[in-house]
Structures are given as structure tokens and as C-alpha cells.
């Protein structure tokens, strides 16, 4: 009986989407940079698509840190996620997240990929894609 081969994530597959809802099942393993807030509704869309890394906007945290809820939720499903600071990138504009965003929060899976608070999102993505 032949064994099952699990494909490795394609870190060169970059998806820059204003809304995380734009991800599709074929985006599994991608690097997803979004303009979406990091709340639970966004987390569910990311879980369905299963990117290697999901980048959200922290939306200023929100009441009871609602704008960060995606990070522990996705961590519990072995998915890396981080947010960029709301005052570094425009919410809803993924191009701004990528070009201007500064990482504000990370989950343990993202930390294991080398993502750290204070890094520029563009540098995170470039490093993960193999360019320093």
C-alpha cells in the first residue's frame, strides 16, 4: 500500500487580499497578507483556507482584545498568525499591511517561523519567501 505524501507549504505562494474572505482552499500553505481585523470571524475564514501564515490588522485591540482573537484560535489549530499595528497600516487594505505594517502580536506558530514583534510585514514576507 502506497504511503500518503503531504505536500510542503509553498512559501512562494503569496496572497495579498484586502479581506481574508478572499482566500480559497487552493491557497492552503500560502502566506496570506490581509487587511482584515484579527477577530474571530476572520479566524474562521483563515482556518478554512489553512495558510501557512495569516497576517491581520490588530484593529487597536478592541474590547477584550477582540481584534486579536484569531491568534490563539489559529494557534489551537496549528496555524501561524500575526497582526500588524492599526496605526502602522490601513485596516481593509492589504497593500498597506504589506508595505507599511509593523508586527504587533504573534502566536507561537508564527514565532516558530521567525516572525517577531516590531518587524515590518514586508520584511517578514521577504524572509519567509527566501529573500533577506
> Is pLDDT above 90 for 109?
yes
Q: Where in 1-132 does DSSP place strands (E)?
A: 14-17, 31-37, 53-57, 80-84, 103-106
CB 99 within 8 A of CB 93: no
pLDDT at 132: 57
Residue 12 has a pLDDT of 73
pLDDT of residue 1: 43
Angle (CA) 132 59 66, round 5°: 115
Residue 4 has pLDDT above 80, yes or no: no
Q: Contact 82/103 with Cβ under 8 angstroms?
A: yes
User: Which SS3 state, helix, strand or coil, does residue 56 take?
Assistant: strand
Given this model, what pLDDT does residue 39 score? 97
What's the pLDDT tens digit per position in 57-108? 999 999 999 999 999 999 999 999 999 999 999 999 999 999 999 999 999 9
In this predicted structure, the answer to whether residue 49 has a pLDDT above a threshold of 50 is yes
Amino acid at each position: 500500500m502506497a504511503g500518503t505524501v503531504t505536500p510542503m507549504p509553498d512559501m512562494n505562494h503569496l496572497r495579498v487580499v484586502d479581506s481574508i474572505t478572499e482566500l480559497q482552499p487552493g491557497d492552503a500553505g500560502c502566506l496570506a497578507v490581509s487587511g482584515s481585523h484579527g477577530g474571530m470571524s476572520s479566524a474562521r475564514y483563515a482556518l478554512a483556507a489553512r495558510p501557512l501564515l495569516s497576517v491581520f490588522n490588530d484593529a487597536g485591540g478592541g474590547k477584550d482584545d477582540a481584534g486579536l482573537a484569531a491568534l490563539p484560535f489559529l494557534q489551537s489549530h496549528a496555524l501561524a498568525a500575526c497582526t500588524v499595528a492599526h496605526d502602522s497600516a490601513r485596516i481593509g487594505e492589504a497593500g498597506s499591511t504589506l508595505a507599511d505594517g509593523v508586527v504587533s502580536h504573534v502566536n507561537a506558530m508564527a514565532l516558530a517561523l521567525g516572525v517577531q514583534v516590531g518587524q515590518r510585514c514586508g520584511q517578514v514576507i521577504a524572509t519567509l519567501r527566501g529573500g533577506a
